[in-house]
Amino acid sequence: FCLLLVQILLGQKYNHSVDWWSFGVLLYEMLIGQSPFHGQDEEELFHSIRMDNPFYPRWLEKEAKDLLVKLFVREPEKRLGVRGDIRQHPLFREINWEELERKEIDPPFRPKVKSPYDCSNFDKEFLSEKPRLSFADRALINSMDQNMFRNFSFINPGMETFVCS
């Protein structure tokens, strides 16, 4: 739910600026190891997303904090990515974007994967959890223009086999 932005929670119109907010949430979780917004239940979490500013630990690099702050700007038109090229941010100063786009840069870490079903790179704690599917709000689905999903029929055959076996 933390990926959701205020505009989405309130049912307001939104644009690609929400993707930059979501990127900020993912980056925060990767850098800090926890969610930027908290709540005991859905209502508290939504309130936190609408009202709270994330906590930034002292050990977080100055450039990383600056990037996160600029991604969590609540006014969409002022958010980094909408206003200004994110690739120019000091946190990314050492990235050669042209080489990256041409796939000429090796990843800093390449996990060892023995097979498509190898789960050895995942913490055992998460492997023992039962999946919890969220149930869709039928009224919300019916209120959406279903034409937006026309011809959206891709199913990854490998995933279908994995899930069904």
Reading the chain (165 residues) residue by residue, the pLDDT tens digits are: 555 666 666 677 778 888 899 999 999 999 999 999 998 888 888 888 888 999 999 999 999 999 999 999 988 889 999 888 999 999 999 999 999 999 999 998 899 999 988 989 988 888 888 877 666 677 777 777 777 777 776 666 665 554 444
Spatial contact of 68 and 54, defined as CB atoms under 8 Å apart: yes
Length of the chain: 165
State the fold for domain 6-164.
Transferase(Phosphotransferase); domain 1 (1.10.510)
Buried b (16+ CB within 10 A) or exposed e, 77-93: eebbbbeeebeebebee
**DSSP state, 121?**
T
Q: Where are the domains of the chain?
A: 6-164
Q: Which long-range contacts (CB under 8 A, 24 or more apart) does 124-129 make?
A: none
pLDDT at 27: 96
Structure tokens given for 148: 């937006």
Residue with tokens 């390449």: 110
* Spatial distance between the Cα atoms of 8 and 4, rounded to a whole number of angstroms: 6
